[in-house]
Amino acid sequence: MPDQTPRITIRDARSSDVPEIVDIYNESVIFSTATFDTTPKTIEDYTVWFSAHDAHHPVVVAEEAGAVAGWAALSAYSDRAAYDGTAEVSLYVRRSCWNRGIGGGLFSTIVDRGRHVGLHTVISRIAEGNEVSVALHTSRGFTAVGVMRQVGKKFGRMLDVIIMQLIYDRT
């Protein structure tokens, strides 16, 4: 019997993916603490966000059956020149696609891209209670470097944020 499992393709994002990227992100705005945004974003918001990404700050998507199932990005950590070798990683997977390895594939791809484009370090901010994200980061070589206590309020409670970091070995 032929394999009927849908195939996942990870590729560079295109501007035409922005509506699906926004849709996936807004699921997290509404239902999770993966982002501290509390108001859904618009396509216009994310068109501006997307245009701020370049070869040094890529956006990739996981595509399944012609639809975007998730996305990952490396974004500039700061507009100050001394931070040029540092990026912040973002990863979001459509809720209906959780627990299928899509997040792990996207995360590995974007972390490898950071190494390839010559970044020195990648950081991530993870809200408390997201053990899956902490485990994913740890499995890819990230270490916890600090905790910001009670810095965000969502769903009626103050939340800590774990800072995780990967420093690329340049030897």
Q: Can you give the CATH number for the domain in which 116 is found?
A: 3.40.630.30
Domain extent, residue 72, equals 8-120
Kindly state whether residue 149 falls inside one of the protein's structural domains: no
Bridge partners of 74? 89
pLDDT of 7: 86
Specify the pLDDT at position 55.
93
24 is a domain residue = yes
- In this prediction, residue 2 carries a pLDDT of 55
Residue 78 lies in a domain: yes
Q: Please state the domain count of the chain.
A: 1
Residue 57 lies in a domain: yes
Instruction: Give the pairing of strands 121-127 and 86-93.
Output: parallel
Interatomic CA distance for residues 165 and 34, integer angstroms: 17
Domain annotation covers residue 147: no
Low-confidence ranges of the chain (pLDDT < 50): 3
At residue 169, the pLDDT reads 84
- The whole-number pLDDT of residue 171 equals 55
What is the distance between the alpha carbons of residues 34 and 50, in angstroms, rounded to a whole number?
19
